[in-house]
Structure 1
Amino acid sequence: MPDLRFSEEQDELRSIVRSMLDKRSDSAAVRTAIDSEAGYDESLWQALCEQVGVAALPVPEEHDGAGAGFGETSVVLEEIGHALAPSPLLASTVAAQALLGGSSDAAARLLPRVAAGEVATLAWAGATGGPDVEEPVVASPASGTGRDHELNGTVDHVLDGTAASVLLVAARTPDGPALFEVDPSQVTREAQPAMDLTLRLARITLDGTPATRIGGPDALARAHTVGSAAVAAVAVGVAQRGLDMTVDYVKQREQFGRPIGSFQAVKHRLADLHVLVETSRSAALAAAVAVDDAVAGGAWDQARRSASVAQAWCSDAVARVAAETVQLHGGIAITWEHDAHLVLKQAQTLGILLGPARAHRSAVLASL
């Protein structure tokens, strides 16, 4: 039975990251970052990478990383979700895991850049639809390009696709889906609108783009598994933020001469939300432990089940918490100036990334 508790080191990491985000990613800073060209606070990202090493946490030491487990990354992702902070960490985490599941040569070349804080992403339909989505990009043998393949096709909704300097692409080959390294300057990148303002999405178009094959289905499966666990961790943070905001508000808002938080019906609703947040945190932690066990030589099948359970539960939970956050805040929640709409929009988007809850539940049932 795994020990589903955060270690002292992880609690200290959480404290450090939360302190930095409290100082540099308040509501005004989040909105400034949303409106920036990059879509996130580049100075904050640099500070997180240089002072805390968040991008280097899951990268092995031989690739200039910190050699920590995914559990540490999940702690940081939860805190980023709690702060509603725009950040490329989720995209870079998925890309790093794809590299770790691919060729050692590609990992040696690219992972030090990811660990140093360069934005990395994976252009793959599975990143928004599930591991079994038919890949729209097709690979063919190269002809005098200096690379071993050429890629043709378009991928929509690529996380941080316009900002990434390390670009990986999943493509269909005669022997199944494969992972390719592509020079970002060789593709067309167009920003796409997103309901969640804290995310930047892009359309990546490849037209005879030179590419090097660096991995196969196992690399993509690993990226999807860890990505699902990562989305679950972010969802926990967003749900906690919604609950915290709501608890604070019901202590202040008064009706009939008393705070609405004193009404029994409101207490019951908040208690239900608290249960959802805590069970979500347990599910996300179980997924992180299963991923770390798999990386250490354990079973990836168990990690995939745990990650799917976590994402299915956490995405449903954060959607419920977000809806109640809006309801219990009343009319103020639908104003642009209040952060409740950011919680709601993040919750809806997290319910789609790496596949909807129903797809993860189906995957779990199919694996039993």
Structure 2
Amino acid sequence: MDFELNEDQRAIAEMAGSLMSDYCTDERLRDWDLSGQAYMHELWSGCVETGLHALAIPEAAGGSGLGMTELMQILDAQGGALAQVPLWRHQLAAATLAEFGGAPLAPWVEQAVTATGLLTLSLDGLSNVRGIELQASAEADGWRLDGRVAALALAEQSVAALVLALVSGLPRLVLVDLGQAGISSVAGVMTHGEALADLNFEGVTLGKHQVLPEAALDWLAPRSIAALAALQLGVSAEQVHRTVAYVSEREQFDRSIGSFQAVQMSMADTHVHLEVLRSALWQLCYRLDAGLPAPAEALATAYLACEAGHRIGHTAQHVHGGIGVDLTYPIHRFLYWSRALSSALGGSSVILERLGDWLSDNDTLGWKYDLDEHQAL
């Protein structure tokens, strides 16, 4: 089996890594914390110029037509740099519309490809303790939306959003023009700096085509998990890298603290969590790109991402000691990102509950049940 990236994938990874790391220096991140900006506009322009903003949008719709394996490369780089740019939500929303929206929704995809308007999305209702708070009621010429969408990322900066609504009691993706009447918002900011807003809907009207088919949610949900897990992989990998560098230099009792067995074992554990997440994420992306079902693989990856973020994050803070809670030192930002990503994924307890429900309803799990096995006699 060949686990190496091909030449094009390596080029994408190198370009994204260079773009993100060159822009997101510790000094610039400190300045951005105080800037009040919703996202890094200058870096976003760089993503648009290099085509990273449309990498996963189908080629027929004007994008690059690449898969989750390639998208994973740029999100890994984004997570490692802590880059505040709307890469995954923007293009996965556009890709979903391109796959399931048809001609009536093509103008929204075109805006995403040309970057003349931002798209965002939220699947939080699948794991939120309050569930889906938006109701879609059928009307003669379309639909009516009433209810609420909590903490929608870049809600006030985006032109449209894919959100969850209950249609006849079942979750469906709906496309909402965020500029239309009947939508009010309350803005906020996540701990790691991402702009968001609570949206309230009162009698918002939608066209018939703005409620996507049921298959759209099944297509988008595992890809969203893969995107968030790829960000977590980048965040945690850089967190481990910086922590190893710190414990190699920091001295106590005339020796580096990295030479103490307890510290070495703690850092070894972080490496295990990191590589377990990497392996699960690679498998998930492979299955998605191959057109294979991956409901259990997605949930397992989500759980491992939450666990890696928590365990690596807290170990890194612990071995940094007092300097880890100094906001002038950069390591705290990685913990903030990990907490935000875990929240977006739903948290490990909720994910395990969903995975348990899946296992109780399915007798098969894993590649050997849906791929041919060729064994030499």
Equivalent position of 2:174 in the other structure: 180
Q: How does 1:188-337 map to 2 (within 5 A)?
A: 188-197=184-193, 199-212=194-207, 213-294=210-291, 299-300=292-293, 303-337=294-328
Shift of 1:94: 4.0
Greater RCO (CA < 8 Å, at least 6 residues apart) = 1
User: CA 1:323–1:34 in 2, change beyond 3 Å: closer, same or farther?
Assistant: same
Give me the whole-angstrom Cα distance separating, in 1, the residues matched to 2:145 and 2:196.
Answer: 20
2:373 is matched with: none
Q: 2 CA distance for matches of 1:134 and 1:251?
A: 46
Distance in 1, Cα, partners of 2:110 & 2:2: 31
> Is the CA contact 1:126–1:224 (under 8 Å) kept in the aligned structure 2?
no
Q: Distance in 2 between matches of 1:333 and 1:243?
A: 13
Structure 1 CA distance for aligned equivalents of residues 4 and 265 of structure 2: 27
Q: TM-score, normalised by structure 2?
A: 0.87
Distance 1:96 1:247 in 2: 39
Decide whether the 8 Å contact of 1:228 with 1:354 is kept in 2: yes
> Residue 88 of structure 1 aligns with which residue?
86
**Ranges in structure 2 where 5+ consecutive residues have no aligned partner:** 363-377
- Offset of 1:308 from its aligned partner? 1.3
Picking from 89, 114, 117, the partner of 1:116 is: 114
8 Å CA contact retained: 2:280, 2:300: yes
2:55 maps to a residue whose letter is: L
Identical counterparts, % of pairs? 27
CA distance in 2, matches of 1:95, 1:263: 48
Post-superposition offset of 1:126: 2.6
- In structure 2, the residue matched to 1:66 is 64
Question: Displacement, 1:355?
Answer: 2.0
Q: Alpha-carbon deviation of 1:66?
A: 0.3
SS of the equivalent of 2:56 reads coil
Taking a change above 3 Å as real, the CA distance of residues 38 and 205 of structure 1, as seen in their structure-2 partners, is farther
Q: How has the CA–CA distance of structure 1 residues 127 and 241 changed in structure 2, closer, same or farther, with 3 Å as cutoff?
A: farther
CA contact (8 A) 1:168 1:181 kept: yes
**Distance (whole Å) between structure 2 residues aligned to residue 81 and residue 340 of structure 1:** 13
Residue of 344, 348, 351 corresponding to 2:342? 351
Shift, 1:338, TM fit: 1.4
Q: Structure 2 counterpart of 1:320, which letter?
A: R
Deviation, 1:342, is 1.1
> How many Å apart are 1:189 and its aligned residue?
2.5
| 2:6 match | 7
Compute the displacement of 1:107 (Å).
4.9
Of residues 85, 97, 100 in structure 2, which corresponds to 1:99?
97
Are 1:157 and 2:156 counterparts?
no
1:207 maps to amino acid? E
State the alpha-carbon separation in 1 of the partners of residues 301 and 6 from structure 2: 20
Q: Are residues 6 and 311 of structure 1, via their aligned partners in 2, closer, same or farther at CA, if it must alter by over 3 Å?
A: farther
TM-score (norm 1): 0.89
CA deviation string 1:281-315 (max 9, x = no partner): 11111111111112xxxx33xx2222211111121
Tell me: CA distance 1:61–1:27, structure 2 relative to 1, closer, same or farther (3 Å).
same
User: Deviation digits for residues 104-156 of structure 1, max 9, x if unmatched?
Assistant: 224522222222333211245436539xx74211122457xxx7222111110
Q: Is the CA contact 1:97–1:226 (under 8 Å) kept in the aligned structure 2? A: no
Q: Distance in 2 between matches of 1:333 and 1:106?
A: 51
Aligned length: 354
Q: Secondary structure at the match of 2:343?
A: coil
**What is the letter of the counterpart of residue 92 of structure 1?**
H
Check 1:33–1:353 CA distance in 2 against 1; reply closer, same or farther (3 A cut): same
Contact 1:121–1:168 (CA<8 Å) still a contact in 2? yes
> How has the CA–CA distance of structure 1 residues 154 and 225 changed in structure 2, closer, same or farther, with 3 Å as cutoff?
same
Distance in 1 of aligned mates of 2:258 and 2:171: 53
Give SS of 2:63's match. coil
| Cα RMSD, aligned residues only | 2.2
Alignment partner, residue 136 of structure 1: 133
**Deviation of 1:347 (Å):** 1.2
Report the secondary structure of 1:129's partner residue: coil
Mapped partners of 2:60, 2:170: distance in 1? 30
Q: Deviations over 1:324-343 (max 9, x none)?
A: 11011111110111122111
Is the 1:157–1:203 contact (alpha carbons within 8 Å) kept by the matching residues of 2? yes
Amino acid at match of 1:211: L
Q: Name the SS of the counterpart of 1:226 in structure 2.
A: helix
For the residues of structure 2 that align with 1:227 and 1:207, how far apart are their CA atoms? 28
Task: Tell me if the contact between 1:123 and 1:204 (Cα under 8 Å) persists in the aligned partners.
Answer: no
